[in-house]
Amino acid sequence: MAALSMWDRWRDSDVWHSFKRSPTAIVAALIAAVCLFCSLFAPWVAPHNPFDLATLNLMDSRLPPAWLEGGNPSYLLGTDDQGRDILSALFYGARISLLVGLASVLLSLVVGVALGLLAGFVGGAVDAFIMRVCDVMLSFPSILVALLIDGIGRALFPNAHDTLAFGVLIFAIALTGWVQYARTVRGSTLVERQKEYVQAARVIGVTPLRIMARHVLPNVMGPVLVLATIQVAAAILTEATLSFLGVGVPPTSPSLGTLIRIGNDTLFSGDWWITIFPGVMLVLIALSVNLLGDWLRDALNPKLQ
């Protein structure tokens, strides 16, 4: 009997079955995919480019959504005070939000997993030190850490280049997330380290790096994946919050948070669409990612099988 291909094994796996049976997971995945698509391919999918100053028409500013009185069908969701199309701004803004979110999660994942492996495998003083740092960091709320780093960055580099500003932002958000990975991975590493096959490998002379990569890592990927999914949502929200507060992405590359802030100024005069639609988009992305993370955690949890 031929061995099952990886595709067959995936199709037969518990995870896929659980996915097929869970309507929320499917819907969430669809929404996330659509958002991802729209934001990745924003320049081609969006009807306008809201950040190309040449195409803006001030006469078209503050138009309500197309289905309301005074709306214009070419600006489906209305325009803001500068004449920018809200729908397009949504796509471009989501792009920035997702970029920052994913980049920071990637960074914190790499750093956290590496440190966790190190702490678990080497043990001793290194382990104790890393764990102490984790404890201290955990007791500080993420928003505060991000704000501080950002504030310090601002003070240190008052006329920063845009890329640098992005870098500081991504670094700030990443700093809030790495601790969870480190702890989880460290815990798993400690468990695996005791197991006989690891000790046998060490006796044979396999380098610790190889042991960690080949044996510990696969066992740890499940919880790490769940963590990463949830953290993506958290990172996107953190970035949106920072941008809303005015200390996030630079104003030349507005994210969804920036858009909400811009809209907030005109909220009281009744132009609700400038704030609400970016808000809805933000929540859709965060919610769908969170739903996926929730479902993933249940699907990968052996206790619930």
Partner 1 sequence: MFAFVVRRLLQAVIVMLTVAFLAFMLFQYVGDPVAQMLGQDATQEQREALKRDLGLDQPFPVQFARFVGNAVQGEFGLSLRQGRQVSTLIAERFPATLELSLAAAVIALVAGIPLGVYAALRRGRFGAQAVMTLSLLGVSLPTFLIGILLILVFSVQLQWLPSFGRGDTVALFGGSWTTGLLTLDGWSHLVLPAITLSVFQLALIMRLVRAEMLEVLRTDYIKFARARGLSDRAIHFSHALKNTLVPVITITGLQLGSLIAFAIITETVFQWPGMGFLFIQAVQFADIPVMAAYLCLIALVFVIVNLVVDLLYFVVDPRLRVEKPAGGH
Interface positions with partner 1 (CB under 8 A): 24, 136, 139-141, 143-144, 147-148, 150-152, 154-156, 158, 233, 237, 240-241, 244-247, 257, 260, 264, 267-268, 270, 272, 275-276, 279, 282-283, 286-287, 290-291, 294
State in angstroms the smallest separation of the CB of 233 from partner 1.
Answer: 6
DSSP per-residue letters across 156-224: H-TT--HHHHHHHHHHHHHHHHHHHHHHHHHHHHHHHHHSHHHHHHHHHT--HHHHIIIIIHHHHHHHH
Q: Which of 142, 143, 35 is nearest to 93 (CA)?
A: 35
State in angstroms the smallest separation of the CB of 31 from partner 1.
Answer: 12
State in angstroms the smallest separation of the CB of 286 from partner 1.
Answer: 4
Q: Which is nearer to partner 1, 163 or 303 (CB)?
A: 303
Q: Which is nearer to partner 1, 18 or 241 (CB)?
A: 241
In the chain, count of helices (H) and strands (E)? 13, 0
Number of Cβ within 10 Å of residue 112's Cβ equals 27
Phi, psi of 81 (to 5 degrees): -70, -10
State in angstroms the smallest separation of the CB of 140 from partner 1.
Answer: 7
Q: Which is nearer to partner 1, 171 or 206 (CB)?
A: 171
State in angstroms the smallest separation of the CB of 246 from partner 1.
Answer: 6
CA distances (Å), origin 89, targets 76, 98, 101, 245, 280: 11, 14, 18, 19, 13
How big is the CA angle at 283 (ends 279 and 286), to the nearest 5 degrees?
Answer: 140
Q: How far is Cα 191 from Cα 213, in angstroms, rounded to an integer?
A: 15
Q: Which is nearer to partner 1, 34 or 283 (CB)?
A: 283
Phi, psi of 27 (to 5 degrees): -60, -45
Number of Cβ within 10 Å of residue 183's Cβ equals 21
Q: Which is nearer to partner 1, 81 or 294 (CB)?
A: 294
State in angstroms the smallest separation of the CB of 36 from partner 1.
Answer: 16
Q: Which is nearer to partner 1, 63 or 230 (CB)?
A: 230
